[in-house]
Amino acid sequence: MSPDFARLPGFRDFVPEDLRVRSHVFDAWRAVARRYGFREYDAPPLEPLDLYVEKSGEEIVGQLYAFEDKGGRQVSMRPEMTPSLARVLGERSRGMSKPIRWFAIPQLFRYERQQRGRLREHFQWNVDIVGEADEAADAEICAVAIDGLRLLGLTAGDIHARVSDRRLLTAILTALGLDEAGRASAFQIIDKIERTPREKTLERLREECGFSEEHAEQLVEVVEAGSIEQVRERFGAHPEIAEALEPMTRYLSVLDAMGLSEFVTFDLRIVRGLAYYTGIVFEVFDRKGEFRAVCGGGRYDRLLELVGGEPLPAVGFGMGDVVLTELLRERGKLPDTSPTLDYFLVSVGDETRELVFELAHRLRERGRSVAYALRPQAVRKQFKAAENEGAAEVVVLGPEEVARGVAMVRDMRSGTEREVALPALGES
Ligand code: HAM
C-alpha cells in the first residue's frame, strides 16, 4: 500500500498567494496593536496538559491535541493563548509595571468538527491588558479589535461588537431566583439561544433551571431585547442589577467618547464559551450574521491566580484569521496577491549574460527586487517570464546598447521604452 501523504483535514497549506493574504492581515493587526502601545510576545506551541484542563472549559478540553511525550509528560498543543499568557505572567509579573499591554499572533490547534470558518489550526491575534480593573481597559480592548478590522477596510456597516457582562446576567438570573447551579445551566442555554427555537429554549429553562413559565418568558424577553434601557426599566429596582449595570454604562460611554459607538451593540445573548470570563464579554460578528464570530474576548480577573501567579485583573480578546479572511474575501477587501518585481533583466544573446548577473546583484544591493532567466533563453521567452513575475520594468541588455553604456528599459504597464545609462539604473 502506498503511504498517504495528503494534508491532514482542517490544516492549511499557505502557497504564496495565501501567505500574502495572511501577511496583510498580520501587518494590520501588528500596526494597530502598536498604535495602542502593545508589545509582541510568544510562548511555546506545546504546553503541559494541565494548563488547559479546568481552566479553559469543557468544550476546548474535548478538542485538545494532547498526548504523552517521550519523557512521559502529559502535553497538549495550545488550543488558545490565554492560559500561556497567564503562565508567563504568573512567573514574572511581580516585578513589572502595570498595566501590562501585550499581544501575540500564535497558531492554535483544536480538534474541531470541520465546518465553515472552523479548522483544526488557525492563527489568532491575542491582545490583552493585565493589571487594570477599570472599564477603560475593557473599552480599550474592544477598540483595538474594532480598529484592527477597520484598518483592513471593514466598516460599521460590515461588522459590530456585541457586548455583554456576565456579572449583569448573573444578577438578573439571581433576581429571578436561580442558585449557582441553575445559573450555570442558564448560561449554557443562553449561549445557544440564537441557534435554538424559542420554544425549546423556554422548555430547557423550565426543565434544567427550574424556572416558572413566567420567569422563563421574562428572561428570554430581556435577553433578546437588546437594549440596556430595557434591562434598566425592567430590573433597575433590584440593587444588585442596578449596580451590575454601572460598569457596562461606563464602558459604553468610553467607546462612545472614542467615536466607536456605531460599532457596538449591547447584547445579553453573548455569554462566551470559555470558563474563565468574569465580567464584560464581547464577540465581533458580521452585520448580516452570515459568519461565525470573527473575534471573542472579555475580562478574566481570576485566571492568573488560578495558574499560580499574582492575583491580577485581566481583559483581552482573540481574533481568528479564518473567519476574518472569509469575510474580507466576501466584501472584496483582500489585497492583490499577484507577484511583483521591480526589474526583470533580459539579455539579448549570450554576450550580455555576465552583465545580467552583475547588474542584478548591484540592483539587489540597492534594495530592488530583480529576477532574470536562469538559463539562456530567447528574448520572447524572457519577456513572457517577466510578465509572469509581475515585473514593473524590463531592462533589455542588447550588445549594441551595452557597447554605448546604456540599456533599454520598458515600462511594462504603459509599454513605453526609454534608454537609461547603465550606472544610473535603479537610482530613481
Ligand atoms: P475563542 O472565542 O475560543 O476565544 O476564539 C476567538 C476567535 O478565534 C473566534 O472568534 C474565532 O474567530 C477564532 N477561532 C476559534 N476557534 C477556531 C477554529 N477552530 N478555527 C478557526 N477559527 C477559530 C479564545 O480563544 C480566547 N482565549 C480569547 C481571549 C484572549 N480572551 C481573552 N484573551
What's 275-327 look like in SS3? CCCCCEEEEEEECCCCCCCCEEEEECCCHHHHCCCCCCCEEEEEEEHHHHHHH
Q: Pick from 280, 306, 330: which residue ends a domain?
A: 330
Assigned domain for 300 exists: yes
Q: How far is the CA of 275 from the centre of ligand 1 (A)?
A: 13
Tell me which H or E stretch contains 140.
Answer: helix 135-151
Flag whether 72 is in a domain. no
Ligand 1 centroid – CA 132 distance (Å): 22
155 lies in some domain: yes
Non-local CB neighbours of 304 within 8 Å, separated by 6+ positions: 86, 89, 90, 93, 130, 310, 311, 312, 314
Q: Are residues 260 and 174 in the same domain?
A: yes
Task: Please give the pLDDT value at position 309.
Answer: 85
Regarding whether 394 and 363 lie in a shared domain, the answer is yes
Domain C-terminal end among 285, 300, 330: 330
Range of the domain at 125: 13-41+80-330
Bridge partners, residue 123, by sequence: 107
Atom of ligand 1 nearest to the CA of 56: 27
Our count of domains for the chain comes to: 2
State the residue for C-alpha cell 433576581: 175
Q: Are residues 104 and 194 in the same domain?
A: yes
- What is the three-class DSSP state of 394? strand
Position 285 in a domain? yes
CA separation, residue 172 to residues 94, 120, 165, 223, 301 (Å): 36, 36, 11, 10, 21
CA distance 299 to 360: 54
Residues of the chain with pLDDT under 50: none
On whether both 353 and 405 belong to a single domain, the answer is yes
CATH at 248: 3.30.930.10
Measured in Å, residue 295 CA sits from the centre of ligand 1 at: 6
Q: Both 247 and 393 in a single domain? A: no
**What's the pLDDT score for residue 54?**
67
Does 174 reside within a domain? Answer: yes
Question: CATH no. for residue 373?
Answer: 3.40.50.800
- Asked whether residue 228 falls in the same domain as residue 310, the answer is yes
Kindly report, residue by residue over 143-184, the tens digit of the pLDDT: 999 999 999 999 999 999 999 999 999 999 999 999 999 999
Tell me whether residue 66 is in a domain. Answer: no
- Examine the domain organization and report whether 266 and 380 are in the same domain: no
| 108 plus 249 within the same structural domain | yes
Of the three residues 268, 299, 330, the one that is the final residue of a domain is 330
Q: Determine the pLDDT at residue 428.
A: 64
C-alpha to C-alpha distance for 17 and 54, rounded to whole angstroms: 39
Q: What is the pLDDT of residues 88-142, one digit of tens each?
A: 999 899 999 999 999 999 999 999 988 889 999 999 999 999 999 999 999 999 9
Query: Which of 112, 141, 159, 322 is the pocket-test mutation for ligand 1 (most atoms within 8 Å of CB)?
Result: 322
Sign of CA dihedral 224, 225, 229, 235: negative
Cβ(352)–Cβ(373) under 8 Å?
no
Both 379 and 275 in a single domain? no
Q: Rounded to an integer, what is the distance from CA 385 to the centroid of its chain?
A: 36
In a domain, 288, yes or no: yes
Supply the pTM of this predicted model: 0.94
CA 273 to ligand 1 centroid distance, Å? 10
Give the pLDDT confidence score for residue 55 in this predicted structure. Answer: 67
Average pLDDT of the chain, as a whole number: 94
Atom number of ligand 1 nearest to Cα 300: 32
**279 near 138, Cβ under 8 Å?**
yes
Q: What is the pLDDT of residue 192?
A: 92
Ligand 1 binding site (Cβ under 6 Å of any ligand atom): 80-82, 110, 112, 118-119, 122, 124, 126, 128, 274, 293-297, 316-318, 320, 322-323
Residue 302 is assigned to a structural domain of this protein = yes
Nearest to 157 by CA among 262, 290, 257, 267: 262
